[in-house]
Amino acid sequence: MKLILVFFLVLTPLSELNKIAKINAHKKEAKEAYLAEDFEKAAFHYRFLVDSLGVSEGEVLLNLANSLYKIQDTTSAKNIYHEILSNNSSREIKSIVYQQLGAIDFNLKKYGEALNYYKNALKQNPENGDVRYNYELLKKLLEEQEKTNPEQQQDQQNQENKDEQSQDQQNKDQQNQEQQNKENQEQQENQQQQEEQQEGEEQQQDEGEKQEQEKPEEGEENDENSEDKQPTTAEKLEEMNISEEKARMILEAMKNKEIQYIQQNKRKAKKPKKSGKPDW
């Protein structure tokens, strides 16, 4: 056991250990004050646990609400009671919360609302003997009032039905909201996947177009090859270290010599042949 405790202390950060110790100290102070009926002091410690130390336990919230109710801060107490009902608290704690809300409405002479809260308390915990006693007592009281004033009893019954329907509607709305949030999250995930897939396809398409643009056309390759195989006249002259002007002069001189040669051949062809000699 000592080895397990030492291992736990090693793995737990020091700041976390200090927080746990502080929570336990305030819980102890709050419990002692509550049992001593010093509800103002108890409310202080429970409020510190919730607001400053982030404790959200159902029992702590319930004791805080009860302490506030004892010091007649009914509004704050009711707000915390309803907060407990919206949390994932145990059925036993919710039964006590409904019982407390019923007691508040009973003191305000809202008997129809009180009876409805007692009924919900029994639904959460049928073994709650205190709330069952209060429920039967209040129900009997309303039945006697109905005999003396049936219209008032009818109004109370209508109010009770209205409150019950309102509670059912709240539960239904909460379920619908949770379902809607789930559907919205799934829709966002699907949309994100589609966007990522589309982005990947566009990237592949851009890479393909880039490769296609960088690929030389067939005509251009043939032109380049033909130019490599057959150099131009300017390139030949450059290789011979002859300028274009000098090349033209050489061509003119060659042309003139050719003309002279042709003319000389013509003159030789016009001489008469000597008779008596063969033509060869």
Q: What would the DSSP string read from start to end of 26-91?
A: HHHHHHHHHHTT-HHHHHHHHHHHHHTS----HHHHHHHHHHHHHTT-HHHHHHHHHHHHHTT--H
Domain final position from 41, 66, 89 = 89
CATH of the domain at 48: 1.25.40
106 vs 104: CA distance, rounded Å: 5
Do 108 and 66 fall within a single domain?
A: no
Residue 147 resides in a domain: yes
Question: What total of structural domains would you count in the chain?
Answer: 2
Do 102 and 125 fall within a single domain?
A: yes
Domain final position from 149, 170, 191 = 170
Residue 26 resides in a domain: yes
pLDDT score recorded for residue 259: 63
pTM value is 0.50
Nearest to 39 by CA among 47, 48, 30: 30
Q: Which pLDDT tens digits describe the chain residue by residue (280 residues)?
A: 544 544 444 445 778 888 899 999 999 999 999 999 999 999 999 999 999 998 888 899 999 999 999 999 999 999 999 999 988 889 999 999 999 999 999 999 999 999 999 999 999 999 999 999 999 999 998 888 877 776 665 666 677 677 778 777 877 777 778 788 788 888 888 888 888 888 878 888 777 777 777 665 555 555 555 445 566 766 666 666 667 777 777 777 777 766 666 666 555 555 555 555 555 4
Do 43 and 70 fall within a single domain?
A: yes
Do 165 and 108 fall within a single domain?
A: yes
Residue 126 resides in a domain: yes
Do 75 and 99 fall within a single domain?
A: no
Helices (H), the chain: 2-11, 14-35, 39-51, 58-70, 74-86, 91-107, 111-124, 129-148, 150-214, 218-229, 233-239, 244-269
121 vs 128: CA distance, rounded Å: 8
Residue 140 resides in a domain: yes
Residue 39 resides in a domain: yes
171 vs 224: CA distance, rounded Å: 81
Residue 273 resides in a domain: no
- How many other CB atoms are there within 10 angstroms of residue 126's CB atom? 12
Do 19 and 60 fall within a single domain?
A: yes
- Domain of residue 16 covers 10-89
Residue 222 resides in a domain: no
pLDDT score recorded for residue 271: 52
Residue 106 resides in a domain: yes
Domain final position from 39, 61, 89 = 89
Do 55 and 99 fall within a single domain?
A: no
Do 59 and 117 fall within a single domain?
A: no
pLDDT score recorded for residue 124: 93
Do 71 and 118 fall within a single domain?
A: no
pLDDT score recorded for residue 9: 45
Q: Which residues of 57-91 are buried (b: 16+ CB within 10 A; e: fewer)?
A: ebbbbbbbbbbbbbeebeebbbebbebbbeeebee
